[in-house]
Chain A
């Protein structure tokens, strides 16, 4: 974690990025109303658009709250349950973007030790951003053990130029460039950056990894020793 001054500066950049990205759900709502859709379809679209904006805002507020000294209530939990919850929350969102979102878990994954609300918030933000940038694709939420920790993330990004360098550059360009991650998305990818910041506090920052013959964004969690002793 950086110094206090870095955090303030990074927060300003992230807020700019969020402001840029929030134009999209608002534009979606505005144009949905202009299309004069049938009531239910209109309501569904407005709901999806507002939820997508709120998720990013809530994750950002959570990351700021956690940073400013609030004690993080860690507890053992199943990463599989979290991934299933993420997929469930984003089921309709994925369908509206013609994305097939699946959950795949390695066998016998031990529980992780983390802050449930933070992880769910981070994963929904992250997954939502990837869904939006990869319309018509097959994405997988996946978890496995890796070097004594649990690695979990979203996979299915086909672009081979999406790599560690592009993610590092995106972190530097957040809030300063309209498209900090052009290999993945045309927008400000604030959902990914907010998830990155939140995960850096409660787990590990996002990294690029390969799985299922594609690229993905993942983080790692410590294994809960508590239940292992039972």
Chain B
């Protein structure tokens, strides 16, 4: 099923990021990969994605700061965001719970998680937002 939905992946580790992008592209998403928040802002300014996947840890920036920044732009207020975190939610900054209410989900990368399930997660987000 052709998707044509654009997904921006912000992941500092290029190898891991490419694997995520590969999985998304197999499901016909158009994946753009970048390793930093500053590059992500530049990309978004040129071409707004339909969804953003971001690592909870970024060099020089905090993913929460990035989220607050994009949420401050009118065009990006409601864009769905998935945060990839290696830390359990209980230990994530309390901000993340608040951000969940702002169309932001947290995907915990533990031993049970499968990145191959990410496209399904994205489908359900788009379905919910379409209602």
Give me the interface of A with B, judged by CB distance under 8 Å: 23-24, 27-28, 30-32, 34-37, 45, 48-49, 96-98, 132-133, 135-136, 159, 161, 178-179, 182-187
Contact = CB atoms under 8 A, between A and B. Distances in A.
Contacts of B89: none
A132 B13 contact: yes
Nearest to A159: B60
Contact of A23 (B15, B35, B86, B115): B86
Interface of B: 12-16, 19-20, 22-23, 26, 35, 55, 57-60, 86-87, 109, 114-116
Given A183-B60, A184-B59, A35 B22 contact: yes
Contacts of B114: 34
A30 B23 CA distance: 12
B102 to A, nearest CB: 23
Given A34-B116, A184-B59, 12 more contacts: A23-B109, A27-B86, A28-B13, A28-B16, A31-B115, A34-B23, A35-B22, A97-B14, A135-B35, A136-B35, A179-B57, A187-B12
Contact of B115 (A34, A161, A184): A34
Contacts, number: 69
B12 A185 contact: yes
Contact of B16 (A24, A36, A182, A183): A24
A11 to B, nearest CB: 23
B95 to A, nearest CB: 15
A35 B19 contact: yes
7 contacts: A28-B16, A30-B115, A179-B59, A182-B59, A182-B60, A185-B59, A187-B13
